[in-house]
């Protein structure tokens, strides 16, 4: 679509949202794996340092979840922007055809 010399592609927004979601999911899985591996060490790594590092990692879980939600909100924003633009563009084209 063309608007005043500006090329607008809602597909780019949708593709970017998909990429953001994929990266977000991959990061979430990696963090879960790290957390599981650290907790699995509890049976073999017994020390104050081990306890402290596991506690610190477990304490970060809510923050990681919060960041995951923020990134998902951004992906939703991109999708909503694309959908709203398509809806608006369709209405503009429909109204413009009334003048023909």
| pLDDT tens digits, 41-99 | 888 989 999 999 999 999 999 999 999 999 999 999 999 999 999 999 888 888 878 77
Distances (CA, A) of 94 to 9, 28, 34: 19, 43, 53
20, 81 contact by CB (below 8 A) = no
Task: Give the pLDDT of residue 95.
Answer: 82
Task: Give the pLDDT of residue 91.
Answer: 86
Tell me the pTM: 0.78
- Tokens found for residue 25: 């999911």
Task: Give the pLDDT of residue 12.
Answer: 94
Task: Give the pLDDT of residue 2.
Answer: 52
pLDDT of 100 over the 80 cut = no
Task: Give the pLDDT of residue 3.
Answer: 55
| pLDDT tens digits, 1-38 | 455 667 778 999 999 999 999 999 999 999 999 999 98
């Amino acid at each position: 679509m063309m608007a005043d010399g500006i090329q607008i592609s809602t597909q780019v927004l949708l593709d970017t949202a998909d990429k953001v979601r994929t990266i977000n999911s991959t990061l979430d899985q990696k963090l879960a794996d790290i957390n599981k591996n650290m907790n699995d060490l509890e049976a073999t790594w017994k020390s104050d340092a081990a306890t402290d590092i596991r506690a610190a990692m477990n304490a970060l879980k809510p923050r990681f979840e919060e960041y995951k939600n923020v990134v998902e909100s951004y992906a939703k924003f991109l999708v909503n922007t694309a959908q709203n633009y398509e809806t608006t563009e369709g209405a503009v084209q429909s109204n413009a055809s009334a003048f023909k």
